[in-house]
């Protein structure tokens, strides 16, 4: 079979002057973090996003008042010569969606809270008839919004967040990829019955494996029902700095490599215009991949492309088998136990070379312009031929800038790791020193959920709902808790995804109001509405009370 990049075919969604779908460029977007009632601030931030290369700008609209003020923001941008489409982000308030749909070019609604009430983690029992009645209730509320959108040529995004699934969905499907996908499919089936087609879909999570597998499953579910809507990709609550870039690139880059994705948003706990260059890096290489030489190989029997399991290998020393994935340059590895093989050679010769080294760790290299796909093709072929050696992909980014190397390596290695291949990774660069390569490699393995070597911080990018200085707070919490490498800490600006994402974190710090914070132990709220200046000491006290605190070691 032939491996390589081939973009998924979709329908086209029209969002103002921008068209989203596979015959059009992959669109870059971001979201303001200002209050939507702050017209001047929102306009200024929107301009910075646009000037950085953003093609779509999203703003939150908590209520009808904020939705109405989108008209002022929209008018000021148009008066200043900016015709970039605006999107209203709606949670909990269908009336705000109705208003926003008359003003902006697209409205995002969340199936987890558009009609269903905010989740309380309650188990609800439904008969099949009662469940069907709930779907009918959703349809009756969607009909007026769809008619408004139709009248005003406004697009809709059905945006599912893993952290805000409704109690109804959770009760029937559990906290599973199937539940996440069904949350989207319920709305898509209604929109198809209503013959409304300017639709974009997203499924997001802070866990890259969950996000990637859910999107793969959604595409499969849509294909089975003859749906080909364009997809918006993003890893929500990715964090900031290197961690945020790596986590976003692993998730988004993996799906882009599979031809999935028509518009992307890199969510960073930073100024929103900082997101656009990262998104652009993820997209720019796809043009070269479209015209790249074909990659031939044999898919190994039993491979599950939707939710791959880790390839079985026979351990050589401490590599492969049931051992934790390694990073060349970080872990000690006896070079006498390794063999480098270029995957650029003919398939038969590749297998022959691998069979000669039956007791070695195989480090696979390539010069192909699409290195991840070339290496995956080789790994498929070797596995199909009965090769059980540990496999480690090695990619050399030569003189690419440090940030480009970070983004490219996270996307490429993420694509390989989240396809179930490889027992480790090897990254080469002439612009990053050995210490930086080690940090990058461990960050990628952690983002792929294969090895944990640092504190896991789950933090949202902030929006108009955020009631505190998110960027400063995240950096302060990181400074105090980064030595707790065994913990996952969530920092959420508001309750939209907060409680849900806390289920994936050990402890959570969630905005509850202006200057007020609620603290969570996983999804259990243990302290409510405490003053922000007391929140971090209280969080540290909570971790100590649970016996999970360790003192930082001296440098």
pLDDT of residue 443: 96
Residues 298-307 have a mean pLDDT of 92
H helices of 80-176, in order, are 94-100, 128-152, 167-173
Q: Residue 195 class from Cβ within 10 Å (0-12 exposed, 13-18 middle, 19+ buried)?
A: exposed
Query: Which pTM value belongs to this model?
Result: 0.93
516-521 and 507-513 strand pairing: antiparallel
- What lies within 8 Å, CB to CB, of 30 at 6+ separation is 49, 52, 54, 57, 58, 265, 266, 272, 273, 275, 276
| CA dist., res. 375 & res. 377, Å (int) | 5
For a pLDDT cut of 90, what percent of the chain falls above it?
Answer: 82
pLDDT classification of 470: cutoffs 50, 70, 90 = confident
Buried b (16+ CB within 10 A) or exposed e, 84-99: bbbbbbbbbbeebbbb
pLDDT of residue 118: 66
Q: Is the pLDDT of residue 178 over 60?
A: yes
CA proximity to 246, closest of 210, 195, 282, 300:
282
CB-CB contact of 490 with 502 (8 Å): yes
Return the half-sphere exposure (C-beta side, CA atoms, 13 A cut-off) of residue 267: 23
pLDDT of residue 462: 76
Give the chain's length: 555
| CA dist., res. 233 & res. 303, Å (int) | 24
Residues 83-106 have a mean pLDDT of 97
* Between residues 293 and 496, the one the model is more confident about: 293
Report residue 458: phi and psi, to 5°.
-110, 110
Lowest mean pLDDT among 4-18, 293-307, 497-511: 497-511
Q: What is the pLDDT of residues 221-248, one digit of tens each?
A: 999 999 999 999 999 877 788 999 999 9
Indicate the Cα dihedral angle 493, 499, 504, 509, nearest 10°: 40
Helix (H, G, I), strand (E, B) or coil at 426: strand
Q: What is the pLDDT of residues 259-277, one digit of tens each?
A: 999 999 999 989 999 999 9
| CA dist., res. 183 & res. 217, Å (int) | 12
CB-CB contact of 319 with 390 (8 Å): yes
pLDDT of residue 123: 82
Report the DSSP beta bridge partners of residue 3.
295
pLDDT of residue 250: 98
pLDDT classification of 523: cutoffs 50, 70, 90 = confident
Q: Is the dihedral of CA 245, 251, 257, 260 positive or negative?
A: negative
| CA dist., res. 524 & res. 503, Å (int) | 8
pLDDT of residue 500: 63
Q: What is the pLDDT of residues 13-40, one digit of tens each?
A: 999 999 999 899 999 999 999 999 999 9
Lowest mean pLDDT among 50-59, 405-414, 508-517: 508-517
């Amino acid at each position: 079979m032939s491996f390589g990049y081939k973009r998924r075919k979709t329908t086209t969604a029209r969002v103002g002057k921008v068209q989203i779908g596979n015959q059009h460029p992959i669109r870059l977007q971001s979201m303001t973090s200002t209050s939507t009632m702050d017209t001047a601030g929102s306009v200024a931030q929107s301009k910075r996003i646009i000037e950085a290369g953003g093609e779509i700008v999203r703003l939150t609209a908590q209520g009808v008042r904020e939705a109405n003020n989108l008209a002022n923001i929209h008018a000021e941008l148009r008066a200043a010569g900016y015709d970039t489409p605006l999107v209203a982000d709606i949670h909990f308030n269908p009336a705000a969606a109705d208003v926003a749909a008359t003003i902006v070019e697209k409205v995002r609604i969340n199936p987890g809270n558009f009609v269903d009430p905010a989740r309380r983690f309650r188990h609800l029992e439904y008969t099949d008839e009662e469940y069907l009645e709930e779907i009918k209730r959703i349809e009756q509320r969607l009909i007026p919004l769809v008619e408004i959108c139709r009248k005003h040529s406004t697009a809709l995004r059905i945006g599912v967040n893993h952290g805000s699934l409704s109690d109804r969905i959770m009760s029937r499907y559990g906290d599973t990829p199937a539940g996440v996908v069904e949350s989207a499919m319920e709305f898509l089936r209604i929109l198809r019955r209503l013959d409304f087609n300017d639709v974009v879909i997203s499924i997001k999570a802070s866990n890259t494996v969950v996000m990637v597998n859910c999107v793969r499953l959604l595409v499969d579910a849509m294909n089975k029902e003859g749906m080909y809507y364009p997809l918006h990709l993003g890893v929500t609550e990715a964090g900031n700095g290197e961690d945020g870039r790596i986590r976003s690139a692993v998730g988004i880059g993996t799906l882009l490599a599979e031809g999935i994705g028509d518009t992307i948003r890199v969510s960073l706990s930073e100024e929103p215009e900082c997101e656009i260059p990262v998104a652009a890096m993820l997209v720019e290489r796809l043009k070269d991949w479209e015209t790249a030489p074909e990659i031939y190989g044999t898919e190994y029997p039993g491979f599950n492309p939707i939710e791959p399991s880790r390839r079985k290998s026979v351990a050589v020393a401490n590599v492969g088998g049931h051992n934790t994935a390694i990073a060349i340059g970080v872990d000690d590895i006896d070079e006498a136990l390794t063999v480098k093989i270029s995957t650029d050679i003919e398939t038969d010769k590749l297998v022959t070379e691998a069979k000669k080294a039956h007791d070695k760790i195989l480090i696979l290299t390539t010069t192909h312009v699409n290195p991840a796909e070339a290496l995956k093709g080789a790994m498929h072929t070797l596995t199909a031929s009965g090769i059980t050696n540990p496999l480690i992909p090695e990619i050399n980014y030569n003189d690419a800038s440090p940030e480009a190397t970070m983004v490219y390596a996270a996307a490429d290695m993420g694509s390989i790791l989240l396809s179930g291949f490889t027992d480790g990774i090897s990254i080469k660069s002439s612009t990053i020193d050995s210490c930086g390569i080690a940090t990058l490699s461990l960050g990628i393995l952690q983002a792929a959920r294969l090895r944990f070597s640092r504190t896991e911080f789950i933090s949202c990018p902030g929006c108009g709902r955020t009631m505190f200085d998110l960027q400063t707070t995240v950096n302060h919490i990181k400074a105090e808790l980064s030595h707790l490498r065994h913990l996952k800490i969530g920092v959420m600006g508001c309750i939209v995804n907060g409680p849900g994402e806390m289920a994936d974190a050990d402890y959570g710090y969630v905005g509850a109001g202006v200057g007020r914070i609620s603290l969570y132990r996983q999804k259990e709220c243990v302290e409510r509405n405490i003053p922000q200046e007391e929140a971090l000491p209280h969080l540290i006290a909570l971790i100590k009370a649970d016996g999970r605190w360790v003192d930082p070691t001296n440098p």
